[in-house]
Amino acid sequence: MDRILRCAHAYTLEDDGLGYLEKVDIFIDGGKIIKIIPSSQENKAEEIIDLTHHLVLPGFIDAHMHTGMNILRGLAQDTSHWMMHGLGPFAQVVSQEEELLGSKLAILEAARAGTTSFGDYETNMDEVCGFLKKMGLRGQITATVREALHRVYAPGEIYEFDQKMGEESLQRNLALFEKWNGKDKMRIFFGPQGADFLSAELLLRLQRLAKEKHTKIHMHVQQGDRETYQIQKRYGKRPVAFLKELGYLDKSLLAVHLTDCLDDEVKIVAQSGANMIFCPASIGIIDGLVPSADVFQKEGGMVALGSDQAPGNNSHNLIKEMYCAALFTKIKRQDPEAMPAWKVLRMATIEGARACGVDESVGSLEVGKQADIIAIDLRRPSMSPVFTHPMRNLVPNLVYSARGDEVDFSMVGGDIILREGSFIKDELEELFEELKGVPESIGHRAEAGFNEVAGSNYRWMKEGLL
């Protein structure tokens, strides 16, 4: 027996509830949960970890991230035309090495707030997998596949496709799959970036590959009016209708955002058996909109949460994402009972795992599952006082009050990541060293583009408002 976690309050997230358990010992052996029984001094192990002042939960699953973009945190909010006017001038000058620094920083930020599974999605993912492995973290990783050339398009212009680029990115995705899938806590998905960025032929090839390899298609779906415009121009219909006709809507699809979907289109996707990733904070900042995750769930679809990328969202913190999922939906529906705390906690854990197709191994605390476990320190003002009767306030306090720093302990597949709020393997000092001079260099390269675009942040910088 490796370890016992001695818990005062644990939520297993089993089945369709939260599975609250009081005073239990969770036994960990070989990286898995092998027993959960009432706490007792009789229970013995090599190490007993005292979590009796804690709230114990399955680790959080962040299903959709572009961690590399984190090197550009805080540079693209408060702006219309986010992609072109906000992110564009910076994104076009960033190197692969700089993105990797951003990824490392984002991963540490997220892990510090309880994320144990990372849904990263970018062109070059091999080194990110390497860093996750080094830290002992879990990944559901996707490599971007795309044929549309990266260049400035005139308004109304149809994207220019480059078959060679498409083929190369597909081969990179395939190579990533062969190298990492099923190894070192990694799962690899296939990543057509969006229906507008690939030909129908390449979309279908990827779908066949995903089915053949028993993995998922992870794709942005109807994520904005630019996508809708492109698909309508090319195929005479909106993206959801196009994907439905193509036979793309089924349980192999993990559909991200659905920002530009009407509720009826959201229903079509949910009814198809596809699942959804909801990135409330990112879409709130980028578009001022709230995708209809609540409608998706009502139709029986599974919804995972994602922190997306830091120049949009500006942070990677699943506790904040749960908060935004709940609050933004309440505000959208003008209904305080919409999207309660228990629902968003399920999205960050078991429902997220089901959406990503990894619930056989993670997402809940159950015998036989991987030991991906976090503990929140209850001896913090933000988590106090603790009521258990006639109502437990532990989950509402986590969702509506916690900041992220209350996560005190975490473990992934039995490997300890955080103890007393500190990383076992601390990469931060080294990372800050590597970051020296990087923002200055990127800033220098981005300056001409930033000035040319002359967006809201350019104006506010001139006016002394930044």
Give the residue with the Cβ less far from a copy of itself, 307 or 370: 307
Q: Kindly state the smallest distance separating residue 104's Cβ from a copy of itself, in Å.
A: 9
Q: Kindly state the smallest distance separating residue 451's Cβ from a copy of itself, in Å.
A: 7
Give the residue with the Cβ less far from a copy of itself, 272 or 313: 313
Give the residue with the Cβ less far from a copy of itself, 210 or 453: 453
Q: Kindly state the smallest distance separating residue 242's Cβ from a copy of itself, in Å.
A: 25
Spatial CA neighbour of 313 closest among 355, 278, 349: 278
Question: Residue 264 has which token pair?
Answer: 């009826």
Interaxial angle between packed helices 239-246 and 263-271, expressed in degrees from 0 to 180 and rounded to the nearest 10? 20
Spatial CA neighbour of 393 closest among 402, 384, 406: 384
User: According to the 3-state scheme, what is the secondary structure of 154-198?
Assistant: CCCCCCCECHHHHHHHHHHHHHHHHHHCCCCCEEEEEEECEHHHC
Q: Kindly state the smallest distance separating residue 112's Cβ from a copy of itself, in Å.
A: 7
Q: Which helix (H) or strand (E) holds 431?
A: helix 428-435
Q: Kindly state the smallest distance separating residue 274's Cβ from a copy of itself, in Å.
A: 25
CA–CA separation, 428 vs 240, rounded Å?
42
Give the residue with the Cβ less far from a copy of itself, 215 or 259: 259
Interaxial angle between packed helices 318-333 and 280-287, expressed in degrees from 0 to 180 and rounded to the nearest 10? 60
Q: Kindly state the smallest distance separating residue 327's Cβ from a copy of itself, in Å.
A: 5
Q: In terms of C-beta density within 10 A (0-12 exposed, 13-18 middle, 19 or more buried), how is residue 160 classed?
A: exposed
CA–CA separation, 259 vs 246, rounded Å?
20
Contact present, 464 and 457 (Cβ < 8 Å) = no
| DSSP 8-state assignment for residue 59 | P
Contact present, 240 and 221 (Cβ < 8 Å) = yes
How many residues would you count in the chain?
466
Which CA distances in Å does 59 have to 17, 118, 368, 431?
A: 16, 11, 16, 24
Give the residue with the Cβ less far from a copy of itself, 169 or 313: 313
**In which residue are the tokens 């369709």 written?**
16
Q: Kindly state the smallest distance separating residue 186's Cβ from a copy of itself, in Å.
A: 22
Give the residue with the Cβ less far from a copy of itself, 81 or 234: 81
CA–CA separation, 403 vs 256, rounded Å?
25
Angle at CA 315, nearest 5°, toward 317 and 399? 35
Q: Kindly state the smallest distance separating residue 385's Cβ from a copy of itself, in Å.
A: 5
Q: Kindly state the smallest distance separating residue 461's Cβ from a copy of itself, in Å.
A: 5
- The amino acid at 63: A
Q: Kindly state the smallest distance separating residue 255's Cβ from a copy of itself, in Å.
A: 21
Give the residue with the Cβ less far from a copy of itself, 235 or 400: 400
Give the residue with the Cβ less far from a copy of itself, 164 or 389: 389
Q: Kindly state the smallest distance separating residue 455's Cβ from a copy of itself, in Å.
A: 9
| DSSP 8-state assignment for residue 342 | H
Q: Kindly state the smallest distance separating residue 128's Cβ from a copy of itself, in Å.
A: 16
Query: Number of C-alpha atoms within 13 angstroms, CB side, residue 208?
Result: 7
Give the residue with the Cβ less far from a copy of itself, 109 or 265: 109
233, 239, 242, 248: CA torsion to nearest 10:
140
Give the residue with the Cβ less far from a copy of itself, 183 or 444: 444
Give the residue with the Cβ less far from a copy of itself, 42 or 440: 440
Q: Which helix (H) or strand (E) holds 32?
A: strand 32-38
Give the residue with the Cβ less far from a copy of itself, 263 or 335: 335
Q: In terms of C-beta density within 10 A (0-12 exposed, 13-18 middle, 19 or more buried), how is residue 207 classed?
A: buried
